Amino acid sequence: MNTLVLTAHPDLSTSTANRKWFEALSDIEGIVTRNLTSVAGAEMHFTPSVEQALLEQADRIVMQFPFYWYSSPPVLKAWIDQVLLFGFAYGQGGDKLQGKELILAITTGGPAESFQAGSFNRFSMNEFLTPFEQTASMVGMNYLPPFVLHSAMSRDKTKLEASIAELISHVTKPRIEFHNKELIKAF
Ligand SMILES: Cc1cc2nc3c(=O)[nH]c(=O)nc-3n(C[C@H](O)[C@H](O)[C@H](O)COP(=O)(O)O)c2cc1C
């Protein structure tokens, strides 16, 4: 299985969790990591044909990012807008992503228990992530359970290290081993 990891952090040099994840995933055979901020620069400009060629070679795409204002940092939205084009991802002839898999790998500042009705974040992660789930559906991708590390800023080193092994296991797991009931991997 060829896996493409799209890492969308505005500055990995200031990151703790996403930098660790990016470095660990970069060492795994069969995984190609792509730091979208380095690729696109401050203008967030992508070359669609380059990104699309990488997508065509992948069976599974992982979007890895810190949760920013209930969504991804803007570089991932720029990538989606510039790459998932008519005739490639949807519309006539737009079947190039059909059957591929999508996994989201996310770190949040908020604790797990805040992502529910009655707490300050009010909604579940799955509810916040529905635009990604629907984007996958629109382009014919199979949306697999997201992997979420909560309280990412307050994690001690040991817990962050432990999340790396769990993340690798999650993103390398064959699709057949994901069960319907398994909604989200929260720490
Ligand atoms: C602009 C901005 C917006 C953020 N919005 C949220 C948010 O909506 N929910 C949340 O739980 N954490 C939020 N955070 C906290 C980040 O998710 C947290 O800093 C990040 O996951 C830590 O990962 P890193 O060490 O790789 O930077 C936000 C942080 C920033 C800088």
* pLDDT tens-digit readout, 164-173: 999 999 999 9
Q: Is the CB of 163 under 6 A from ligand 1?
A: no
At residue 180, does pLDDT exceed 80?
no
pLDDT at 158: 84
Whose alpha carbon is nearest atom 16 of ligand 1?
Answer: 109
Length of the chain as a residue count: 187
Average pLDDT for the chain? 95
Q: What is the pTM for the complete model shown?
A: 0.97
| Token pair listed for 1 | 């299985």
- A 10 A CB-CB count for 157 gives 9
Crossing angle of the two packed helices 17-26 and 157-172, in degrees rounded to 10: 40
CATH number of domain containing 108: 3.40.50.360
Cβ contact 25:63 at 8 Å: no
- Structural domains in the chain (count): 1
Q: What residue numbers bound the domain in which 119 lies?
A: 3-186
Query: What percentage of the chain has pLDDT greater than the value 90?
Result: 90
- A 10 A CB-CB count for 162 gives 14
Q: Is the CB of 120 under 6 A from ligand 1?
A: no
Q: Does residue 166 sit in helix, strand or coil?
A: helix
Q: Which of 11, 12, 20, 67 to mutate to test the pocket of ligand 1 (most atoms within 8 A of CB)?
A: 67
* pLDDT tens-digit readout, 88-127: 999 999 999 999 999 999 999 999 999 999 999 999 999 9
* pLDDT tens-digit readout, 63-72: 999 999 999 9
Distances (CA, A) of 87 to 96, 138, 139: 9, 13, 11
Tokens 């570089």 correspond to: 75
- A 10 A CB-CB count for 138 gives 13
* pLDDT tens-digit readout, 126-156: 999 999 999 999 999 999 999 999 999 876 7
Q: Give residue 68 CA to ligand 1 midpoint distance, Å.
A: 5
* pLDDT tens-digit readout, 38-85: 999 999 999 999 999 999 999 999 999 999 999 999 999 999 999 999
Nearest-angstrom CA–CA distance, 185 and 67: 15
Q: Is the CB of 74 under 6 A from ligand 1?
A: no
Q: Is the CB of 9 under 6 A from ligand 1?
A: yes
Q: Is the CB of 16 under 6 A from ligand 1?
A: yes
Mean pLDDT for the stretch of residues 167-182? 88
